[in-house]
Every structure is written in C-alpha cells, then in structure tokens.
Amino acid sequence: MTNLFTDIHEHPQIFGSQIKTLRTASEYTIEFVSKESGLSKAFISQIETGKRSINIHDLKRLLSVYNYSVMRFFSESADAVEGKKYDPNLSLQSNEYSILIDGSRTNGKHHLILKRPVRSKDDLAILELFLPGEVEYPKDYFSYDSTVRGVVISGELLIHFKDDELLAKEGEEFSFDANKYHIFRNHKKENLKVLLVMQHPYF
C-alpha cells in the first residue's frame, strides 16, 4: 500500500517543510530532536527535506517533541499551505475553511471534520473522524464513489460491510472501495480518532 502521508501532499517537500518549521520555530537542533524522539538525525533530515515518507508511529514520536498531536499538525499544516486560518471555536465554517460535516465538537459526541478546503473534484478530502466508545457512524449503511484511505490515530476502528468487515488498530493504515456499503464502528470503550483521505464525493 502507498504510504498515506505521501498521498496527503502532492509534494513531500511541503510536508517536510512543516516539520522543519516546527523545529526552527522551537529553536531546536536536529541533534536535540533526534535525542528526544529517538529517531536518527539522518532520518529527520530526510523527512524535513521531503526525501522520504514517515509512518504514524514515527510521526507521533517526532511531533511529541513539539507537544503537537497528529490532528493538530495536519490541521495547522493545511492552514499554512492554503494561507488560511482555522477557527476551532466555530461549529460550521465556510467552504474556504474547515467544515464540520456531521455530529458535534462537543466532548463525547461523534464528528467528521473536513480538515482543509476542497475546491474542485480533483482535490483530496482530508477528514478527522472521532467516535466515542461504542458508537457507530452512520446509523445506516452508506456508500459513495471513492476510494478511502486512512490511518487510525488512536483506538481501534471496525469498518463493517454487508458481507465482510475490516479491523484497523492504532497506527495501522487501511483502504477500501467506498462503493461498498459500510459503517464505521468504535466497538471499544475508549475514544477513536481516524484520519481519512478520499477523492471528495460530495463537498
């Protein structure tokens, strides 16, 4: 499977530049970040210059040095790329900003948030799916014309199809044809966060 984080940005240099910006803004050396994250200096340098991709576990280790979550990083890096500013206090924003697709930002309720603008049918939609314990989304089966790729940020995701199911645990990537009827389920008691990437079906 193609690495999800390479897919998210058409140019890996953009992704790497955001990582480098975090480091330079924090006035950290590569040596310091390497020591704190446990990742090699050569690896960090290759990430910052966009010469290689990174898996979810190493990304979390790297971002922890800057006290950043994966979700915060993707939201803010998208803002920087687009030259926009995302206001997390608004429940619904214009199509030039992040949009709450469904649910609520209130703690304990599920939500599906578009993390960056989608302006044409060729744009990739990057979404955050949050499901509290033992919650499913939606209540009924749904499908659309797209391939969905994703990575589980925390928790365990069960994607239920009419005749099959797919299980993805924290740190694991997955993909499926969204033409198949499906439901996202959090079958655990812990909260679930997932980053979804798809060719937008309806934005």
pTM for the complete prediction?
0.65
Q: Say how far apart CA 75 and CA 191 lie, in whole Å.
A: 20
Identity of the amino acid at 183 = I
Residue 29 has pLDDT above 60, yes or no: yes
Of the segments 114-118, 144-148, 149-153, which one has the largest average pLDDT value? 149-153
Q: Say how far apart CA 162 and CA 111 lie, in whole Å.
A: 23
Secondary structure element (H or E) that encloses residue 158, with its range: strand 156-161
Q: Say how far apart CA 164 and CA 161 lie, in whole Å.
A: 5
Q: Please give the structure tokens belonging to residue 6.
A: 């390479």
What is the pLDDT, as a whole number, of residue 1? 39
Residue 183 has pLDDT above 70, yes or no: yes
What is the pLDDT, as a whole number, of residue 93? 39
Query: Which range (26-35, 99-108, 149-158) has the least confidence?
Result: 99-108
Q: pLDDT-based confidence at 5, cuts 50/70/90? A: low
Phi and psi angles of residue 168, each rounded to the nearest 5 degrees, phi first: -130, 125
Judge contact between 188 and 131, C-beta under 8 A.
no
Please give the residue that has the higher pLDDT: either 170 or 20: 170
Name which of 152, 142, 154 is nearest 191 in CA terms.
Answer: 154
Average pLDDT, the chain: 78
Judge contact between 146 and 123, C-beta under 8 A.
no
